[in-house]
Amino acid sequence: MGGDGNSAYGHRTFTRSRSHFDDRITADGRDGWPVRAGRYRLVVSRACPWASRAVISRRLLGLEDALSLAVADPVQDDRSWRFTLDPDGRDPVLGIRFLSEAYDRRETGCPGGVSVPAIVDVPSGRLVTNDYQRITLDLATEWTALHRPGAPDLYPAARRAEIDEVMAEVYEDVNNGVYRAGFATRQREYEEACAAVFRRLEALGERLAGQRYLVGDTLTEADIRLFTTLVRFDAVYHGHFKCNRWKLAEHPVLWAYARDLFQTPGFGDTVDFDHIKRHYYQVHTGINPTGIVPLGPDLGGWLTEHHREELGGRPFGDGTPPGPVPPGERVAPRGQPA
């Protein structure tokens, strides 16, 4: 998610920028970036759905000790994502005030703006990659030597074709579709995008009516990518982005599916609703010029029974759930349902 041009949203046609830095961190280091414990730092915003994918994957795979985490303030300024949540307003590992500093060390004035998730090389302070589509796939497949014992296989080789197909549909109509609706500048543009969002959600609901997860009987990358949009749906996309044909809480299947994931270790314990709401409503001044953050919706329902276990399935396959959240990464209580 970019860190500039937010006031223009709602005044110009929305187009998602391609990741400008698509180097990969691999087991064999073929791009010059070998997997090494402690070498890299993952920079995220808990508000951003694209960054939240990486937070969830990192936790499920048990990479907390191998890949450190920097959490940016959910409200940016004109200089990009900032580290004002940290003492003295600097990231304690990278020593920088703004993520743009790591980008500038890689390339000054790069196109596409400053976005999260981003992985930074700690020794040089240079950005390695902001390829949000690839980062999590590489965490699942290239970082295996550093996975925790019992880590799930989030991108199983035998299922990749089906996972890729599902993820492509989810990306086009749901992950990116809510943005096309929310930042539309013409009525027809909005209506087409919004209709596509709900057509795809209905189709996904039909798919999930008889199976616990999107592909197979275990959690995969596809579930992570759908979850990060669903968990934001009623809080911001329904009102702020005008995706309001119905609320997630009004769709029995998708609401139960989302609650099932939320209550699974590694998902809900990474979500900060306070960060999510403040970012969307305060940063997107092009569509919410007052910056007022709504009080609702009531978030208590996220912890209610979902009964999805009746469909069977094994969340972690032959593996095990992740352990407790590291103390320094726990979400503040105000960011969770009461």
- Residue whose C-alpha is closest to residue 111's, from 21, 188, 192: 21
> Of the listed 9, 40, 155, 179, which one is catalytic?
179
48 is annotated as an active-site residue: yes
Q: Are 191 and 31 in contact (CB under 8 A)?
A: no
Measured over the CA atoms of residue 155, residue 157, residue 159 and residue 160, the dihedral's sign is: positive
Rounded Cα distance, 97 and 107, in Å: 17
CA distances to 112, 167, 201, 273 from 173, rounded to whole Å, are: 22, 10, 9, 23
281 is annotated as an active-site residue: no
- Residue whose C-alpha is closest to residue 99's, from 111, 119, 112, 87: 119
Instruction: Copy the structure tokens of residue 184.
Output: 């539309």
> Of the listed 48, 103, 213, 257, which one is catalytic?
48
H/E stretch holding 330 reads none
Rounded Cα distance, 52 and 115, in Å: 13
Residues labelled as active-site residues: 48, 179
